[in-house]
Structure formats: C-alpha cells, structure tokens
Amino acid sequence: MIKPHGSETLTPLYVSDETQRQALVEEAKTLPSQLLSSAGAANAVMLGAGYFNPLIGYMNRADVLEVSEKMHTVSGLFWPTPVMCLVENNTASSGDRIALLDPNVDGSPAIAIMEIEAVEQMSETDMQQVAEQVYRTTDLAHPGVAELMEQGRTLLSGPIQVLNFSYFEVDFADTFQTASEIREEIKSAGWNKVVAFQTRNPMHLAHEELCRIAMERVEADGCVIHMLLGKLKPGDIPADVRDAAIRKMAELYFPPNTVKISGYGFDMLYAGPREAVLHAVFRQNMGATHFIIGRDHAGVGDYYGDFDAQTIFDDDVPAGALEIEIFRADHTAWSKKLNKVVMMREAPDHSKEDFVLLSGTKVREMLGKGIAPPAEFSRPEVAQILMDYYQSLS
C-alpha cells in the first residue's frame, strides 16, 4: 500500500485508547480553555483523523509564512497550506496546557488538548501575505479569504491530542471516516490501485463517468468517492443531501465492491491550486494511489485558471514530494455525436453545440421547479433527491 505523506506509517492525533481519552476529557474540564474558530476546529479534526499526517499540531508563525511562500515548513516538510490556530481573546502563554473548545457543537465541548509552544501575533501584513500566496488574492469577496480574515490574529502553536471528531462522527455516522479507517477498508478489499474523487457537490452523470474513465485508464481496483462534509459557501448543497444523492448513484450504477463512499470533516477553503495539492495529500494519507483533478478544482469565481490546479503539480510541487499520482481530467460532458460522456479535449471534432451543457444556475432553476435535467446530464434517481431538496426551500 502507498505510504502516508512524510512518514512510514500513519500517525493520527486522535487518542484512540478509551481509558486515556476519558481521562483527558476529564482533565480538559479543569484546564484553561480557548474557543476555536470553525477553521481551527476543522484543522483539529483533520489532525486527529490522520489526513494531516505527519503534522503533530498547529504551525507556528515561521512555518505558516514559509508554507505560504514556499510550500514547505522551516524543517523542509512539503506542505501546501498553513494549518493554523488563530484565536481571539487569548490569555494563554507558552508552556501552558489548554483545552481547545469546539464552536460547532452545542455547549462548545473540548475537541482537543494543546501544549502551547508559542503564542505569536500575525500582523495584517502577515495575513495579507498568506491570502495572496495561498489564495492568489486578498479580495474579501473570495469566501476563503473572507473566512481567513474573520479569524483572530493571535496564533497558538504546538502539539495536540484530539478527543473527538466534532459533529462529523454524529451527523454523518455512516459517511465520516478517518484516513486510518479508509486505509483499513482498502486493505481488506484487496485493492492495490485506488482512485480518489473529491467532491463538494452532488455527482451528475459526467462526474460518474469521469470516475469510470479514470478507473479504466489506470486499471484501478476501486474508487473512493470522498466528499467534504464541512462548511461551504452560501448556496452550496448541504452535505446530507449530497451524501444521499451520491449513495443512490453508486448503489444503482456501479458494480458491487468497486466504489466506496466516504467523507471527511473539513471546511472548504476554495483555494484552487493550493487546495488541490492539499487534497492530494489527504488522499495519499488515506491510501489512494491516484487522485482525479479536473477543471477548476477547488475553485470559486474567476480567481483561478481552468487548469491551474493541474499545472501547479508541474510548476510548484517538487519531484518526489508526493507519491500519489494525479489523473488529469478535462471538463466532461455528454456527446450528442458519440452518445456517451467524454472528456471534451478528446473530442476535437466537436463544437460546443455537440455537447449537453447546462450551467449550474440553469440546473438549480430546473430542480427548483421540479423539472429533472435531461438523462444525458443527471441520473433520474439523483435528480429526484435534488428536486426534493430544492422544492423544500420554497
């Protein structure tokens, strides 16, 4: 099986020993506490679940700035985006042991315990630098930049022990999985070559066929459809609806034991190319050997070029930094000429009119009116789930 990023074995920070964890939960009640931002809590979940392997906690200022500029820590570990604990109203000091509180669960229970190594201030110049280098913009209309700038300016760094997986393990009990759990299931299935597909949206027919195309071309044993379960921008479809739609598609249209549906607890960054690289790290850590990256992966608006999330692997990711291989996909759509879904670059004799193309706005309008998109665009069973959702909003 493919090795995790940066280490021989996966080292998740979740305290799996029940007795030890319960003792830490009780200890957390006696410790000074700090309320996290949603982004800080999501980082704790990812550290606990092994997706951020081999990190042992939150980054200090030097690492944040080094990662933002050069995509590696001061020590030389390749890493594409900062992993920060930015807070407000801090009273802790270096050397303190504190409980980190989860803002996304009622009562704000402790999600982790942290050994503080440094308490530093991020200047406005620092924050602008992070935004410009990671998101390629400082525009507050960018949802990822807006989320970044809404956080505090005090940076806490140091190792953590993770006590739970926030609301993800409760609200998505059948879908949320750690990187370790996915690795075990891949091993148990006897899969050697594994394709991973990232999604924050329901999967239309083109997405479904893209997974099939990738599996066939790399001769994969299986595909993990791995959905983001955390916070999105306003207007995006909620995770539970996406989950139901994707499960229905896989159940009806893929052979048994070839597709695995799973999810992870993280908030969307919308960081385009940098987030694509981060997504590749996640998938290597969970055991995938190949990762599909298509048009405008992890993008938003017009901040990134259509294929910047692919070219970053050529231009900025050093050779050997990651073991996972990237499957580079073009926009996929139904060809009226060929009567099947194709990658558009592989149909040079086609014009735009030869494809079934619908904008997201148009699809949402149709679904809201109870009109199913054409079968060349969406499976009817998937469309029904989405129609039910959109009509529930009116």
**Domain of 139: which CATH number?**
3.10.400.10
Q: Is 201 in the active site?
A: yes
Asked whether residue 11 is assigned to any structural domain, the reply reads no
pLDDT for position 64: 98
- Residue 297: inside a domain, yes or no? yes
Q: Is the pLDDT of residue 220 over 90?
A: yes
pLDDT band at 333 (very low <50, low <70, confident <90, very high): very high
Mean pLDDT of 217-231: 95
Residues 377 and 233 grouped into a single domain: yes
Residues 144 and 276 in one domain: no
- Residue 10 counted as domain residue: no
Is the predicted pLDDT of residue 79 greater than 80, yes or no? yes
CA distance 254 to 269: 30
Shared domain check, 296 and 194: yes
**96 plus 204 within the same structural domain:** no
Q: Do the domain assignments include residue 12?
A: no
What average pLDDT score do residues 194-204 get?
A: 93
* Consecutive H or E run containing 14: none
Between residues 91 and 138, the one the model is more confident about: 138
Q: So what's the pLDDT on residue 359?
A: 83
Would you say residue 339 has pLDDT above 80? Answer: yes
Residue-wise pLDDT tens digits, 237-253: 888 899 999 999 999 99
Mean pLDDT of 324-335: 95
DSSP state string for 64-99 = HHHHHHHSB-TT--B-SS----EESS----TT-EEE
Q: 335 and 194 share a domain?
A: yes
**Structure confidence at residue 136 (pLDDT):** 98
Q: Are residues 355 and 372 in the same domain?
A: yes
> Which residues are paired to 290 by β-bridges?
195, 325
Residue 2 maps to a domain: no
- Residue 28 in any domain: the answer is yes
Q: Is 285 a catalytic residue?
A: no
Q: Domain end: 166, 198, 221, which one? A: 166
Tell which residue, 90, 265, 256, 84, has the closest CA to residue 157. Answer: 84
Model confidence, pTM: 0.95
Instruction: Pick the last residue of a domain from 166, 192, 209.
Output: 166
How many domains would you assign to the chain?
2
- The active-site residue, picked from 21, 153, 201, 212, is 201
Is the domain of 106 the same as that of 229?
Answer: no
Three-state secondary-structure class, residue 383: helix
Q: Could you tell me where the DSSP H helices lie in 159-301?
A: 168-171, 179-189, 205-218, 239-253, 272-285
- Could you say which of 136, 200, 212, 247 is catalytic? 200
Do 86 and 213 belong together in one domain?
no
Same domain, 255 and 211: yes
Alpha-helical (H) ranges within 254-379 are 272-285, 308-315, 360-368
Which amino acid is located at 142 in the chain?
H
What CA–CA distance (Å, rounded) separates 302 from 323? 30
pLDDT bracket for residue 327 (50, 70, 90) = very high
Domain CATH for 179:
3.40.50.620
pLDDT digits (tens, 9 = 90+) for 99-137: 999 999 999 999 999 999 999 999 999 999 999 999 999
For residues 182 and 131, membership in a common domain is answered with: no
**Residue 233 confidence (pLDDT) above 80:** no
Residues 289-306 have pLDDT tens digits of: 999 999 999 999 999 999
| Cβ neighbours of residue 112 closer than 8 Å, sequence gap 6 or more | 13, 44, 47, 48, 99, 100, 160, 161, 162, 163
- Answer whether residue 288 is part of any domain: yes
205, 309: one domain: yes
Last-in-domain residue among 121, 136, 166: 166
My answer on whether 139 and 204 are in the same domain is: no
* Mean predicted lDDT score pLDDT of the chain: 95
Is the residue at 75 inside a domain?
yes
- Structural domain of 353: 175-264+270-392
